[in-house]
A and B are shown apart, each in its own frame.
Chain A
């Protein structure tokens, strides 16, 4: 029973990371109908920049701020330079373009910092069951989710974002600068992705560190319904807890396959994810 409780708490902490990355995927999918396969590369570049800034300044939090800023810039730049030109292309095109970006960024990180693991500092005590570091991860992700809900639901900026995503032409006619708003959504989402990278990075950082995290985040985002931020957060936490049980009782190597099985089961029962509303017409 003790083992079970430990696994649950561990799962919630790692689930917070999956939830953050899933949240960034969902925000981008909502805004531009693109599943951003380059998201783990954004998190990777941000985490490596944080490593460099921390090494230069000696302050973890300076690195943290640099990571969030870098994530935001990468997101906005990608929307402007890569996604906007492909707005009217086939649905295959953005998938392939973001995969290309993933390969370029991951390879570039390997070129600059090498493929060997770098030791990444913990800002908080990480020892023991549900450590302060775990609490920080969970609290920061829940806080971000609440802030996002408030932003989308109660502010004019959030209203513009929803309008630009759902009816771009009508939004443009009403004076919304659709391009800027979508770039803003990408920047916001990618900053959240960078947060996920900062939470997932310790203790060792390698160019492939986020492949598994990304796989779990996709499982969380798709299982929660690609259009629902709350689904992403709930999906992330659920995937985290479930995989923690798989790690504890079956073996850590099989987590990715277990995530795939869970995802396929969910999709077989509800093809648009657990938290989707029934769509009148599939798009």
Chain B
């Protein structure tokens, strides 16, 4: 593709190709894999949003699960109270609610940095899901809100089954979000954020609007997170506070660090890790006849160990390692290039 193509168009074409690949994959496999593919898609979107915030702008947020909570509950409330609302409108509303939440949190925390920001967002991750317990009549308390999600449209009933349709819906939403994120990261906002991350003082001196860039990053990231939450509610047919506990926020961050900070490919490896570590943990526990206490805690311990190992020994994550490998293979061919 010519390098002069508009980035939005280029990213859109990539997204269409990815959607076609997902359609082929789900057509070739069964319902279990379909749901896992959907799970990868929504976690990809959530982690990619976190990537913009942590990887590109260097703001450590431990509260990304709270934005998924906002999206999931907006979606569930809409479907429960207004069943006639079309799916796309529900997703859009969830995304908008997340952007608003991100605007509020981003504006409130714009002056915080490092451990202060991490502490404040940690409190958000612990505090927000408890709101569902405070208002049991509206938000369903600890049991959450359950609803029947819309299945495949009748016109497509011969072509795709319900689980395939869900995977396609999730990936459509995820890829739309990724196109926005990729375009923002490559464009002016991304340059501003990277400059802010590397040297805030120099960036401010060069005329970059520090506060506005940071809040914008928060808004986009929260929008992606809540769209992912809406997708999750749609796939599961329910939104419960325990799904969005602190552990979720920590696992998202852990997977992002494992995948590699600063690249959307890192978010992809992260989403694969989130879904398949859970699967592998369950299978391993079955094979070794471990009891439920061990099995339930296996993924958390794994991700914790991964965080420590990556930080100590492998700071650039999976994507960094792959990129280094790729460079090693390419180097002999590109001898003239300075780098």
The interface residues of chain B lying within 8 Å CB-to-CB of A108 are 297, 301
User: A257 in the interface, Cβ–Cβ < 8 Å?
Assistant: yes
Contact A222 B116 (CB under 8 A): yes
Contact B293 A92 (CB under 8 A): no
Q: A218-B119, A256-B127, A260-B124 are in contact. Are A96 and B111 (CB under 8 A)?
A: no
User: B195 in the interface, Cβ–Cβ < 8 Å?
Assistant: no
Q: Give B63 Cβ to nearest chain A Cβ, in Å.
A: 10
User: A175 in the interface, Cβ–Cβ < 8 Å?
Assistant: no
Contact B298 A104 (CB under 8 A): no
For the complex, give the distance between the alpha carbons of A260 and B301 in Å.
Answer: 28
Q: A97-B311, A100-B304, A103-B254 are in contact. Are A215 and B122 (CB under 8 A)?
A: yes
User: B167 in the interface, Cβ–Cβ < 8 Å?
Assistant: no
A contact face: mostly helix, strand, loop, or mixed: helix
Contact B312 A102 (CB under 8 A): no
For the complex, give the distance between the alpha carbons of A179 and B316 in Å.
Answer: 28
User: A93 in the interface, Cβ–Cβ < 8 Å?
Assistant: yes
Contact A222 B119 (CB under 8 A): yes
Contact B311 A86 (CB under 8 A): yes
Contact B111 A271 (CB under 8 A): yes
User: A123 in the interface, Cβ–Cβ < 8 Å?
Assistant: no
Q: A96-B307, A257-B130 are in contact. Are A263 and B123 (CB under 8 A)?
A: yes
Contact A211 B126 (CB under 8 A): yes
Chain A residue at minimal CB-CB distance from B133: A253
User: A135 in the interface, Cβ–Cβ < 8 Å?
Assistant: no
Contact B300 A260 (CB under 8 A): no
Contact B298 A254 (CB under 8 A): no
Contact B307 A100 (CB under 8 A): yes
Chain B residue at minimal CB-CB distance from A259: B123
Q: A254-B131, A263-B123 are in contact. Are A99 and B307 (CB under 8 A)?
A: yes
User: B323 in the interface, Cβ–Cβ < 8 Å?
Assistant: no
Contact with A along B98-140 (1 / 0, CB 8 A): 0000000000110110111011101110111011011000000
Counting chain A CB atoms within 10 Å of each CB, the highest count among B115, B298, B300, B301 belongs to B115
Q: A35-B115, A218-B122, A253-B133 are in contact. Are A114 and B127 (CB under 8 A)?
A: no
Contact A107 B119 (CB under 8 A): no
User: B182 in the interface, Cβ–Cβ < 8 Å?
Assistant: no
Contact B123 A256 (CB under 8 A): yes
For the complex, give the distance between the alpha carbons of A106 and B123 in Å.
Answer: 18
For the complex, give the distance between the alpha carbons of A215 and B127 in Å.
Answer: 9
For the complex, give the distance between the alpha carbons of A254 and B127 in Å.
Answer: 7
For the complex, give the distance between the alpha carbons of A260 and B108 in Å.
Answer: 10
For the complex, give the distance between the alpha carbons of A272 and B292 in Å.
Answer: 45
Q: A212-B126, A253-B131 are in contact. Are A103 and B109 (CB under 8 A)?
A: no
Chain B residue at minimal CB-CB distance from A258: B127
User: B215 in the interface, Cβ–Cβ < 8 Å?
Assistant: no
Q: Give A162 Cβ to nearest chain B Cβ, in Å.
A: 21
Contact A82 B301 (CB under 8 A): no
The interface residues of chain A lying within 8 Å CB-to-CB of B253 are 96, 99
Closest 9 CB pairs of A and B: A100-B307, A103-B304, A256-B127, A35-B115, A104-B304, A107-B301, A257-B127, A253-B134, A107-B300
**16 new A-B contacts at CB < 8 Å, known A102-B304, A104-B300, A215-B127:** A35-B118, A89-B315, A95-B60, A95-B115, A96-B254, A100-B311, A108-B301, A218-B122, A219-B119, A222-B120, A254-B127, A254-B134, A257-B128, A263-B119, A264-B109, A271-B112
Task: Name 15 A/B residue pairs within 8 A (Cβ), A-sorted.
Answer: A86-B312, A99-B254, A100-B254, A100-B307, A106-B300, A108-B301, A110-B296, A208-B245, A226-B115, A253-B131, A255-B127, A257-B127, A260-B123, A267-B111, A267-B120
